[in-house]
Amino acid sequence: MSEDKSGEDEPREDETRTTERRRPRLDKASRHERILAEMMATPTLRVGDLAADLEVSTETIRRDLFELQERGLINRTYGGAVRPFAAEPAVTERHAMMVAEREAIAALAVKFIKPKEVIAIGAGATTTHVARRMAAECRDLTVITHSFSVATVVAANPTIDVIMCPGRYNAREGMMVGVETVEFLQNYNVNRAILGISGITTDGLADAEAPAASVYKAMMNRSAETLVVSDHKKFDVQALAIWARIPDIQRLVVDRSPGGAVARALARAGVEISVATRR
């Protein structure tokens, strides 16, 4: 008589549970690697979710997050962690970074400017490249800016009138900021605001300097169109102060197309993306 051997090689339920319980836990270095990988996939992590996923206690996860924050890789929050905010070097240092990419962005950005327009330009390394290209290629404009470097380079063109915003001087960024700056901008109607960013996420466009973010928001609010210039390293990067949501802007001029959630949010908002090519 033949024996029924069906299932004889399948582990019993209690054996399966025992095997799962014996699965080795990750060491600290491996946990840190997994946490950082999760942080790349989603901007916010919860202690409880990480503890369940990595099969360790919430106290272990809190210690891991503390160590990762000490290394500058994350920012701890109540109950979890978020990606670290963008921290930019001073504008004088940024002028020497990604020069080819910024020049390509500037060359494309000025193609959207028409004679007789009023242009508001924010401070920054990329916007200074745009201003330099404006001085070379555009004419019969009025430029409103709070940036001394922008004002200096664009004023080389005698057909461009420059209006400098008042305010409190930020020497690190070479710009005017504050209540006086924002109130001054309320007196003007602007065809186009050309603004840089420290980072863009699905939450919006942000700057590492909160006072500057207030100025950019005021420029955007007084403009018929907001054109944002950014290199690809700003994609999916959080910065301190959000000054616009993605649907608030009309055009993004970049050196490389964004991807992932940011690209989907831009598409849903109908933002025009113009990609510059390096020569």
pLDDT digits (tens, 9 = 90+) for 112-145: 999 999 999 999 999 999 999 999 999 999 999 9
- Give the per-residue pLDDT at 36: 82
Rg (CA), the chain: 25
Length of the chain counted residue by residue:
279
Which string of b and e fits 161-198 if b means at least 16 CB within 10 Å? ebebbebeebeebbbbbbeebbebbeebebbbbbbbbb
Flag whether 202 is in a domain.
yes
Q: Is the dihedral of CA 92, 94, 100, 105 positive or negative?
A: negative
**Is 38 or 10 the better-scoring residue by pLDDT?**
38
pTM listed for this prediction:
0.73
Are residues 228 and 252 in contact, defined by beta-carbon separation less than 8 angstroms?
Answer: yes
Closest CA to 212 of 164, 167, 178, 166: 178
SS3 39: helix
**Residue 159 belongs to what domain range?**
91-275
**H helices present in the chain, as ranges:** 13-21, 28-41, 47-54, 58-70, 91-94, 99-109, 125-137, 148-154, 179-185, 210-221, 260-269
- Give the per-residue pLDDT at 213: 96
| Same-domain pairing of 126 and 71 | no
Separation of first and last alpha carbons in the chain: 83
Q: For residue 35, what is the domain's CATH number? A: 1.10.10.10
* 8 pLDDT higher than 60: no
| Same-domain pairing of 71 and 98 | no
34 exposed, middle or buried (CB, 10 Å; 0-12, 13-18, 19+)? middle
| Same-domain pairing of 101 and 237 | yes
- Opening angle at CA 120, ends 117 and 123, nearest 5: 145
Number of domains in the chain: 2
Flag whether 2 is in a domain.
no
Last residue of a domain, one of 37, 57, 82: 82
pLDDT tens, 67-101?
988 877 788 888 888 776 665 666 666 666 788 99
